[in-house]
Amino acid sequence: MRFVLNQLRAARLFCAALIICSLSINGCGSLPTKSDQASHRSPDSVQGSELARIFVDRANTDTTHSGFILLRNGDRALYERAALADIAEHTIDAQYYIWNSDRSGRYLAQKLIEAADRGVSVRILLDDFSIGNRNQQILAVHSHPQVEVRVYNPFVKRSGIAKWFNFAFDFERLNRRMHNKTYTVDGTAAIVGGRNIGDEYFNHNEQVNFRDLDVFTVGPVVTDVSTEFEEYWTSPWAIPIDQIVRSSSDLSERERLAELIEKQRVDSLDLLFPVKTTSPRAHFLRSVEELVWAPATFVYDRPGGDDKTAYPEGPKRVASHLLQLAGTSKEEVLVESAYFVLDDLGLDLAGQLRDRGVRMRALTNSMASNDVLPNHASYAMVRERMLEEGIELHELRPDARSCLDSVGRRSFCDSDSFFGLHAKSAVFDRKTIYVGSCNLNLRSAYLNTEVGMFIESPVLAEKLTAQIEVNMRPENSWRPLLKDNNVVWRVQENGEETIVPYEPHTGFRERFKEGILTLVPGAEYY
């Protein structure tokens, strides 16, 4: 009887939520209208900035080339962002899918607020899917006179069951997310790549860390990154946070911001960075010597995620560009992608490459190293077909020996820790590289918006190839193979290779869950 009553109560709540949702003023399916208001707009270039004096004045004489540094190390990637904020004089534009409120997230937020206190115009564009219950904290940051925060493709209902009804009834819109990740300072230097803002992406999490990749860049291509940000910032998909969230505090805006800053000071994070004896200026002066100068193209999907380019019935801009580069490769395509799922278009292309003698290798997550089981289920659905089309697959081990090289802290790579792949990169014919936010999966290709930096540099291609190939070694990854029309795994343990007929380092429960997920309609788009 109690069970029946509980079911009746649940049904009543469900019906009530439907009624509330349908009668709400904004409905459950309309994008909030952005009203006209002043925006801290970034200039196309800031000639008089310190960054310009450091990099532009020392730039390669070929004005068609930009300078690049691959940021594989998490500490370095975090420090570059902090140092850019410290040296900023005019503008900071930050665009991210995820910005966590952990130590590194709060640390960088503090750096942006300190820059704003100096008069720097700061604009932050966040995808709404991962904002969670931090509406009031983000609203407080937005209250700073030099900071503006906008939310991409926001939920009309912000919390509780109403939010999930909003998602269910406006699925077509809310299922399209902004996965872009860019960070641009004074229109002169930018960081583009796969990293979100959070401890696990900068290798500062004691339990979960990812192998990730960004690229630091200066030169003419930065103008294209600024153009991308401006297009998203001014699009109808980007709504100021104060137009969708109301303050729940009686404090003034300045009092709320001061209270937030006091709460999120993270002195302990300074322990992760050795005391710097040089200024950000001295650091970037040294960085000039690291730059690799090369022609590059920055490609981005249009806001809204439904544009079509090379393939009118197929993927969007970034994914299309990747397919084009793969299709014109003559010797080798090397891929590193956290989530790797090809549709018929990609699979047919892989078969064509095989027939032309072009070698295609891919490093992706194993079930044991994948942080999202549904994503691995999508991959498992097409893994056999990818092997049939000649793709050499390598699946990262959660106990990879390379964890220490990537993370840099032995205690973060022990048996109680999780190590996975989050990078999205590729190398074509050892001449051209891709670093961006776009995974080689169907969600990135067809639903989300993405960005990608494509650099024509044999020097960077050799560096990136070496980094990927290290993780393809048997001590760092497992090799799925076809045997008697079934997928098996070549596993090396204690120097000896064995063949196992199931996902290594997983239990029956995980494999059963994955099998169920593959039966869900549309599972390939996880």
Q: Active-site positions?
A: 179, 181, 186, 422, 424, 429
Both structure tokens of 243 = 């137009």
What's the token pair of residue 157? 């209902």
Q: Is 171 helix (H, G, I), strand (E, B) or coil?
A: helix
Residue 426 parent element (H or E): strand 424-428
Q: Where are the alpha helices (DSSP H) in 41-159?
A: 50-51, 74-87, 103-117, 135-142
d(CA 353, CA 429): 12
Residue 2, SS3?
A: helix
CA-CA distance, 210 to 420, in Å (whole number)? Answer: 5
10: three-class secondary structure by DSSP: helix
Pairwise CA distance, residues 518 & 512, whole Å: 10
How far apart (Å, rounded) are the C-alpha atoms in residues 468 and 462? 10
How far apart are alpha carbons 428 and 450 in whole angstroms?
Answer: 20
444 vs 437: CA distance, rounded Å:
9
Q: Which amino acid is at 115?
A: A
Q: Which residue has the tokens 């991962």?
A: 130
Task: State whether residue 85 is helix, strand or coil.
Answer: helix
Q: What angle do CA 324, 330, 331 make, to 5 degrees?
A: 120
In this structure, what is the dihedral angle of CA atoms 76, 77, 80, 84, given to the nearest 10 degrees? -170
User: Are 216 and 189 within 8 A, CB to CB?
Assistant: yes
